[in-house]
Structure 1
Amino acid sequence: MSTNPSDLKYSKDHEWVRANGTQAIIGITSYAQKQLGDIVFIELPKVGDSFEIGEAIGSIESVKAVAEIYMPLKGKIVEINAEANDDPELVNTDPYGEGWLLKFQIANTSQLKDLMSADKYDEFIREEQG
């Protein structure tokens, strides 16, 4: 059984996607935020910006490191989470809820099939850890 929400899709860059039709919300996984430690700053793109799959869309700075955030699907940003931007610790305390990062318009919903299920993501993490 997965420790990650089963209604989400996951990228190999440790982002999660909650799709609803052609709209989606993304954030970083619990695993990613634990690896980073205490998050102190988030840099997010502007509403209206468009990105390709795998393109860097921002960064998360923690007390340990700075990590890039990558776009898991092609799309256009429609909203950023101002609360998480103002209070980055939300990503640590609630990565799948209040700590979401942005909403976007999916350019091609068929790309969702290329993301991992929660169980596949758990398997991916185990392999990555060796």
Structure 2
Amino acid sequence: MTVRYTKDHEYIRVEGDTGTVGITDYAQSQLGDVVYVELPAIGKAVAKGGEAAVVESVKAASEVYAPVSGEVVEVNSALEGAPGAVNEDPAGNGWFLKIRLSDPSELDALMGEDEYQTYLKSIS
């Protein structure tokens, strides 16, 4: 299993040809209490850097961008009734969607855990 990060604070946890996408702990802490999540339709094609979902908090609404291109194969419908899971467990139960990767080489442009932690230090 590989985990990669974007500069927009999304993560993708890759197993085989599928990646689970969510926002990082840093992102959820910046947003504050999440009150609503808009998920994409299963089967939707997403492009790397394009909007994949929307998350609304008490502070703001933000897009969740696709870290890679592919097809949405599953969404976390539990978030519709319990969006607070994004705050409570962003890397676990708070995931947004799963993408079947169309080009696994796109992962190479994303940050690993150490690079992401260094990036966080550089922006805080």
- TM-score, with normalisation over the residues of structure 2? 0.95
Structure 1 gaps of 5+ residues are 1-5
Give the superposition deviation at 1:116.
0.4
- Which residue is 2:78 aligned to? 83
- Which residue is 1:37 aligned to? 32
- Which residue is 1:118 aligned to? 113
Question: Letter of the aligned partner of 1:76 in structure 2?
Answer: E
- Equivalent pairs counted in the alignment come to 124
Question: Letter of the aligned partner of 1:87 in structure 2?
Answer: A
| 1:95 partnered with 2:119 | no
- Which residue is 1:3 aligned to? none
| 1:14 partnered with 2:4 | no
Give the superposition deviation at 1:50.
0.3
Give the superposition deviation at 1:123.
1.2
Structure 2 gaps of 5+ residues are none
Residue pair 2:2, 2:15 contacting (<8 A) in 1 also: no
Question: Letter of the aligned partner of 2:56 in structure 1?
Answer: E
Give the superposition deviation at 1:7.
4.7
Q: Percent identity?
A: 41
